[in-house]
């Protein structure tokens, strides 16, 4: 038997099996990554993959932006709670599009700082600093009175202001703070402005609610959370559910008037809404760091409000709930019209507005739904010495022109 041939370059005497080509193998080996470079490339590829994934995830978290370029030159807009957060970004965008914006804030100093900043960035001088404390029905009335003296029209009202998970405190009128500010203050404000909105139709109301409404229930027996106060899952989520029921009821009241009303969840947004967070410092730090990546920016959080306020395609859409600029169906308890009716009547009494509709048969018009007399929740201790704040409001209703036709 003859031995296999020894190819040139191989160690003399080495025996190779038939068909084996050692030159080809050495070429192959030089093409292969090994050692440091192999690891370097592998790690680089993994890092690139992770970065791409994180970039896509962040894009998804930020959600879609309102991209239509329509302008609203000269349109009159009110935005509540807009010295910071989502409200400030909303005003900035509206100002860039030429709106005349009334910035309705509780702290005139903070409002002025925001107004100057927005004027600078938008080159729009038509921004006005107006004081509105939604935790005081008197402040709401004063704001409306001044606004009506200044403007004969109102094209867009954005009920944005909000307070979350604070310790149990009361509004100036003795109502639980979150229900009072997030729902009742806006309820009165909107009702007092309806005549201007109707006069300016087509016009729009945007209500900034929250996905927290999913945890909410309207607690007819304890609307002011006197017996049981849960900061987030009780009072805040109830107030945000109230925002939605208010939107639903108002959309039926405003049918065929040319005034639309929609509500939204802005997403989880990195703002000052957490200011009452009382958890441990380490948790705050973790959230602070995580939120840089996993929360929306205030600008991204403003996009759904902006679409509801601006999109010509939504001119006739009303009564809807939106998130990430899209309409979403509501859970049954957020479209329960019996609850919406009850809450509407109850809110009328609590803010001292005359009833829009007659009370249901068998109910004393001076009684609220849980059988107690009208007025702040009993024993409210409102701290301003007023014995019956709502009856005082009832009186002052007569002094404010309430055109609800």
Ligand X SMILES: NC(=O)C1=CN([C@@H]2O[C@H](COP(=O)(O)OP(=O)(O)OC[C@H]3O[C@@H](n4cnc5c(N)ncnc54)[C@H](OP(=O)(O)O)[C@@H]3O)[C@@H](O)[C@H]2O)C=CC1
**Within positions 149 to 208, which residues make up the interface with ligand RET, using CB under 6 A?**
164
- CA pair distance 245, 261, nearest whole angstrom: 11
Helices (H), 334-399: 337-351, 389-399
- If one asks whether residue 288 binds ligand RET (CB under 6 A), the answer comes out as yes
d(CA 104, CA 115): 11
**Of the candidate residues 75, 76, 78, 85, the single one contacting ligand X (CB under 6 A):** 85
Distances (CA, A) of 174 to 37, 170, 225: 71, 5, 12
101 within 8 A of 79, measured Cβ to Cβ:
yes
Which two tokens mark 308?
């509801």
Which of the choices ligand RET, ligand X, none does residue 320 contact, using the CB cut-off of 5 to 8 A by kind?
A: none
What residues act catalytically? 236
Is there binding between residue 284 and ligand RET (CB under 6 A)?
yes
Contact between 305 and ligand X per CB under 6 A: no
User: Where do runs of H (alpha helix) occur along 129-185?
Assistant: 137-150, 177-178
- Report in angstroms how near the CB of residue 46 gets to ligand X at its nearest: 33
Q: Which of 219, 291, 336, 382 binds ligand RET (CB under 6 A)?
A: 291
How many residues form the binding site for ligand X (CB under 6 A)?
Answer: 31
For 179, which DSSP code? I
Q: Residue 395: how many CB atoms within 10 A of its CB?
A: 10
Nearer to ligand RET, 267 or 369 (CB): 267
Q: Is 61 in the site for ligand RET (CB under 6 A)?
A: no
Under a CB-based contact definition with an 8 Å cutoff, are residues 101 and 314 in contact?
no
Selection from ligand X, ligand RET, none that 106 binds (CB < 5 to 8 A by kind) is ligand X
By CB under 6 A, the residues from 263 to 282 that bind ligand X are 265-266, 268-269, 271-273
Q: Are 172 and 384 in contact (CB under 8 A)?
A: yes
Closer Cβ to ligand X, 169 or 373, answer by number: 169
Chain-centre distance for alpha carbon 161? 9
Q: Can you give the binding site for ligand X, defined by CB under 6 A?
A: 80-87, 105-107, 110, 132-135, 160-164, 181, 208, 210, 265-266, 268-269, 271-273
Q: Can you give the binding site for ligand RET, defined by CB under 6 A?
A: 164, 210, 212, 268, 270, 273-274, 277, 284, 287-288, 291
């Amino acid at each position: 038997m003859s031995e296999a041939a020894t190819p040139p370059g191989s160690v003399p005497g080495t025996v190779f099996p038939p068909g084996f080509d050692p030159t080809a193998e050495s070429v192959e080996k030089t093409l292969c990554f090994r050692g440091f470079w192999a690891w370097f490339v592998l790690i680089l590829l993994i890092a690139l993959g992770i970065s791409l994934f994180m970039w896509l995830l962040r894009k998804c978290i930020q959600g879609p932006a309102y991209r239509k370029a329509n302008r609203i030159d000269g349109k009159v807009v009110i935005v509540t709670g807009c010295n910071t957060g989502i409200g400030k970004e909303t005003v900035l965008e509206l100002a860039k599009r030429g709106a005349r914006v009334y910035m309705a804030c509780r702290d005139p100093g903070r409002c002025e700082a925001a107004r100057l900043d927005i004027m600078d960035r938008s080159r729009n001088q038509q921004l006005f600093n107006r004081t509105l404390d939604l935790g005081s029905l008197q402040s709401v009335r004063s704001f409306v009175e001044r606004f009506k003296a200044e403007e004969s029209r109102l094209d867009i009202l954005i009920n944005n202001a909000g307070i979350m998970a604070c310790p149990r405190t009361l509004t100036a009128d003795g109502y639980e703070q979150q229900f009072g500010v997030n729902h009742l203050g806006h309820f009165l404000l909107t009702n007092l402005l309806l005549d201007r909105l109707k006069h300016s139709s087509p016009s729009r109301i945007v209500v900034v609610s929250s996905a927290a409404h999913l945890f909410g229930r309207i607690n007819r027996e304890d609307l002011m959370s006197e017996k049981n106060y849960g900061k987030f899952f009780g009072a805040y989520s109830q107030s945000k559910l109230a925002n939605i029921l208010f939107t639903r009821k108002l959309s039926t009241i405003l049918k065929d008037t040319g005034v639309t009303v929609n509500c939204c969840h802005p997403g989880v947004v990195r703002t000052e809404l957490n200011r009452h967070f009382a958890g441990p410092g380490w948790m705050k730090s973790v959230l602070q760091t995580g939120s840089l990546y996993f929360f929306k920016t205030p600008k991204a959080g403003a996009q759904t409000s902006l679409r509801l306020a601006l999109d010509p395609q939504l001119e006739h859409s009303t009564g809807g709930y939106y998130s990430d600029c899209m309409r979403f169906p509501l859970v049954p308890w957020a479209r329960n019209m019996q609850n919406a009716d009850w809450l509407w009547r109850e809110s009328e009494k609590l803010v001292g507005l005359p009833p829009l509709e007659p009370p249901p048969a068998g109910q004393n018009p001076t009684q609220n739904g849980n059988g107690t007399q009208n007025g702040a929740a009993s024993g409210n201790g409102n701290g301003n010495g007023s014995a019956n704040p709502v009856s005082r409001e009832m009186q002052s209703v007569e002094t404010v022109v309430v055109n609800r036709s």
